[in-house]
Amino acid sequence: MDFKKTKFGRYMNCRVPANKRYQPTEYEHAANCATHAIWILPSMVGGSVLYFLSVDKWHRVAALLYGSGLTGLFLTSTLFHTAAWKISHLRKVEERFHKCDRMAIYFFIAASYSPWLMLRELGPWTYHMRWLIWVMACVGSTYVFFFHERYKLGELLGYVTMGAVPALVILSMVDRAGVCELALGGVFYAVGVAFFKSDGLVPFAHAIWHLFVAVGAGIHYYAIWRYLYLAGPQPQTSR
């Protein structure tokens, strides 16, 4: 279906070649900002709730990491989309915000896995994923710093690897409660990528991608809150 020929056409600009950046319409710019800005405050509150539910220092550290990753993602995304909307003529500044936005995704993925990796008993060969995930986030961010927008497929592969590899570890958890929610959240991220790639084909594609991210993050937050914090003291892990 060609939306450009329908009455929704004015909400979207035409698709651009792979080496050029899509230019959102004013409506799309506003939606891109709003769809992540509204989650900044709830993320801070959500992180604080986990912190105050903590029963020991490991829970507190995991709550701080996760809360910061969640808030950081929505905050940097909002800042970048605001810059792309309002100060796009300052190319260098906009590009820096874009790099921060992309780096925040790596740290957000690491932060999302951290509570599970830190608070659940894992098999011996998966134990090292607790720190390895942060090394992966640093490697991904370094890649963004030097090669931002140069190899788009490389970037996408980086995110998929970072998102999928630690999931194998999670599946090795002795206690499996929460695995279904983790998988469901992952499905939302994966389906959302289709919209991430649909600028100029579907009106508000990027804002729809944002909403998929928010729902995925919301499901993961629920699982962490319910199974790792609300459930009370967990069996002692081999930290």
29 is in an annotated binding site: no
**What whole-number distance in Å separates Cα of residue 157 and Cα of residue 197?**
14
3 state DSSP class of 120: coil
89 is in an annotated binding site: no
List Cβ<8 Å contacts ≥24 apart for 197-201: 199/15, 199/22, 199/24, 200/12, 200/13, 200/14, 200/15, 200/16, 200/22, 201/3, 201/15
81 is in an annotated binding site: yes
Integer CA distances (angstroms), 96 to 80, 116, 143, 154, in order: 8, 32, 14, 19
Positive or negative: CA dihedral 167, 171, 174, 179: positive
> Which segments are annotated as binding site?
81, 206, 210
> Which segments are annotated as binding site for Zn(2+)?
81, 206, 210
